[in-house]
Amino acid sequence: MRLIITRHGETEENKKGILQGHMQGKLTEAGLEQAKKLALRLKDEEIAAIYSSDLKRASDTAKEIAKYHPNAKLFFVKELREKDQGSLTGKLIKEIDWSKPRDTEKRELMFKRAKIILEKAYKNYKGQTVVFVSHGGLISVLMALLMNKPLEAIKKIECPIHTAISIFNIKDNNKHDVVFLNCSKHLE
């Protein structure tokens, strides 16, 4: 399976420095333009399915991609949601005291849901092209999973910019080929 992973477009909350977690988020004008440029870049791909986080900022991005792929199945799923930030959701990032204990989602749970959706897509679309539209934190988890890295490696994986794409060729033996990571040439 050919897997294209992308992050949603820029949101109003991103611009304000708000920790979104499971907030819906609203694409800015620039974010919508990013999504449209991404969709245009992917228009010639033979996409069988688009799996998107069910949060609005990702689903709005996925809908732009789907405009060029009317026959692709479009799924909005919780597994591709961003990390649940618990009581930190909606707070300004610069005002958060990261040294205090937090009630945020554990990496292990994110890893588990990333694995579930990856296995589901692979089972249903083996030999085809699938797009995942998600969020920075969950994409880092997916990257670690696809590159067979331990959970601790998530911290070292660069968070993709908005609508950057990464492509992997998924194989049965878990030795997946990385075609490229975090490419944003469509935004130039």
User: In tens digits, what is the pLDDT along the chain, a chain of 188 residues?
Assistant: 999 999 999 999 999 999 999 999 999 999 999 999 999 999 999 999 999 999 999 999 999 999 999 999 999 999 999 999 999 999 999 999 999 989 999 999 999 999 999 999 999 999 999 999 999 999 999 999 999 988 888 888 888 999 999 999 999 888 899 999 999 999 99
pTM score: 0.96
Compute the distance between CA of residue 174 and CA of residue 146 in angstroms, rounded to an integer: 8
Question: What residues are annotated to the active site?
Answer: 8, 82
Cα 141 to the center of its chain, rounded Å? 10
Contact between 41 and 165 under an 8 Å Cβ cutoff? The reply is yes
Contact between 57 and 9 under an 8 Å Cβ cutoff? The reply is yes
Compute the distance between CA of residue 49 and CA of residue 185 in angstroms, rounded to an integer: 23
If you count them, how many residues does the chain have? 188
Domain ranges of the chain: 2-95+102-187
Q: Which CATH superfamily is domain 2-95+102-187 in?
A: Phosphoglycerate mutase-like (3.40.50.1240)
Q: Rounded to the nearest 5 degrees, what angle is found at the Cα of 138, between the Cα atoms of 137 and 143?
A: 100
> In sequence order, what are the residues at sequence separation of 6 or more whose Cβ sits closer than 8 angstroms to the Cβ of residue 45?
4, 69, 129, 131
Contact between 182 and 147 under an 8 Å Cβ cutoff? The reply is no
